[in-house]
Amino acid sequence: MTRPTTPITVPAARIAGQDHAGTSGPDIIDPATGTPIASTGFADKSLVGRAVGAADSIRADFSRMGARARAAALLAIAREIRAQAGELAPWIAAETGKRISEAQGEVEFTAKYFDWFAEGAADLDRATLRRDATREFHVSRRAAGVSAALATWNFPLSIPGRKIAPAIAAGSPVVLKPSELAPVSSYLLTKIAERHLPDGAVAFVLGDGELVTNALLDDPRVTHASFTGSTAVGHVIAARAAATLTRVTLELGGRAPFIIAHDADRERAVANLMIAKFRNNGASCIAANNVFIHESLYDDVVADLAEQISALTVGDPFDEATDLGPAIAARFAERLNGLTSKAEESGDRVVMGKRGPATGTYATPALIEVDKSAGLWDQEIFGPVMPVQKFTDEAAIVNEVNSWRYGLAGYVCSQDVARAEGLAEAMNIGIVGINNGAPNTPEVPFGGFGESGIGREGSMSGIHAFMEEQTITIQHA
């Protein structure tokens, strides 16, 4: 696949099939080439209000459409996403710097969310019936109102998909606000979705993150907001949503521990770690963040990692030989390269990988045998810099991990799966991969403990977040 050659214009809003230009926003720059690939429009408060108004006006019709018809629409959207993979994947790669093969994987993963929530939607119309000696209980679910889908840039198609698919399943009209760093994929997804839905059921608004988000949260017609992004912004959103009692789902930052136990299969553990760390250029909320290696395997695993990290090809995401593409913008690459230099200055042993090409915003992959005092250990890295430490006692890791504010993902490598499961259960973490570097799929809950968020996406929980429940109790004579 080749990079898109014709620039695209992403409007400030798309409402009921119509683009609204808005005021001029920043261009989207391809981080590998430094060239503009899209111009953007930015919405003001009143345009956000129009998108919410269109969504609100369709509420009753959307609900009357019935869950089965919405499920059929979801399947049609999934089919069209797959059919348009040849356009979607290059835009994902061009706007984020993600490798083209991973961008293709993201397209398929997005379609799978629509498949999955179609299955979930099919059951939603049925009220649950319970009885006791004299009473009958009918429990039903219905969409609460308009939803806001507030997305981040690192999976610019699948994160919006993970929000709008369950909203459609639930019968909740949804206004999608993408990251201003990578809005193209979301815009294209909106255009696909709207072709299968009544006008207004899916709207798109782009603009200053704070302004648009606040306009959505302050609007009483918006009853649920699903945000993916940093923990810092998650706090701001939760506080703002409190004023209107808008319900929030928050998918926030992580600091996944990757534990290589004494009885791990070394080769498999290293292979899984390379996937869990370097997928998506390291910019994944479930990326391996703190690597704990048992002392008995430490020297060998570090030697393997040094060899594999040094061999990574850093370059153009459209080149099939590339292992790592650029960071999405210069400031992200500078931060990551700064973490490595700081660790080196503080005396940690650093093994640097290859540098990326001179043009483009590349972070250099690095392995760092870290001293806890360096500060690197204590933060979400969100890039291809890998801090490792030796450990002797798994119980101490559990204590340490449970003292962190984050609890999104974690990984355990051990040939004793039952023991690994015990270790996984002891940690306050939402998603744990055992001998597995890619633990997520649409059918299971995705989300974290503590300051990694509130609520879950994926699974049936992903739909229920968009719904209210009603209980009707009938007393018989």
User: What is the C-alpha separation between 315 and 313, in angstroms, rounded?
Assistant: 6
Which one, 107 or 148, has the nearer CB to ligand NAD? 148
Query: Cβ closer to ligand NAD: 40 or 308?
Result: 40
- Which two structure tokens, joined as six digits, stand for 208? 């200053």
Contact 276, 288 (CB under 8 A): yes
Query: What residues have CB less than 8 Å from 126, skipping those under 6 apart?
Result: none
Spatial distance between the Cα atoms of 426 and 410, rounded to a whole number of angstroms: 11
Give the integer Cα–Cα distance in Å for 111 and 132.
Answer: 42
> Interface with ligand NAD by CB under 6 A: which residues?
152-154, 179-180, 209-210, 213, 228-230, 233, 236-237, 251-254, 285, 380, 382, 408, 453
For ligand NAD, give the closer residue by CB, 408 or 412.
408
- Convert 276-290 to b/e letters by CB count within 10 Å (16 or more is b): bbbbbbbbbbbbbbb
Residue sitting closest to ligand NAD (CB): 209
Counting other chains too, the contacts that 20-29 makes at CB distance below 8 Å and 24 or more residues apart are 20/47, 20/50, 22/47, 22/206, 22/207, 25/180, 25/206, 25/207, 26/180, 28/95, 28/181, 28/182, 28/183, 28/184, 29/329
Q: Least distance from C-beta 408 to ligand NAD, angstroms?
A: 6
The distance of closest approach from Cβ of residue 72 to ligand NAD in the complex, given in angstroms and rounded to an integer, is 28
Looking at the Cβ atoms of 24 and 473, the one nearer to ligand NAD is: 24
State the nearest-atom distance from the C-beta of 40 to ligand NAD, in Å: 12
- Min dist. Cβ of residue 422 to ligand NAD (A): 25
- Integer Cα distance of 103 and 93 in angstroms: 6
Residue whose C-alpha is closest to residue 273's, from 294, 244, 293, 248: 293
Q: How far is CA 464 from each of CA 103, 122, 147, rounded to the nearest angstrom?
A: 29, 13, 12
In the complex with ligand NAD, the residue whose CB is nearer, 236 or 312, is 236
Catalytic residues: 251, 285
The CA-CA-CA angle for residues 94, 95, 99, to 5°, reads 50
**Residue 131 or 235 with smaller CB distance to ligand NAD:** 235
- Paired tokens of 475: 């007393």
Closest separation between CB of residue 254 and ligand NAD, Å?
5
- Give me 325's structure tokens: 């593409």
Q: How far is the CB of 447 from ligand NAD (least distance, A)?
A: 7
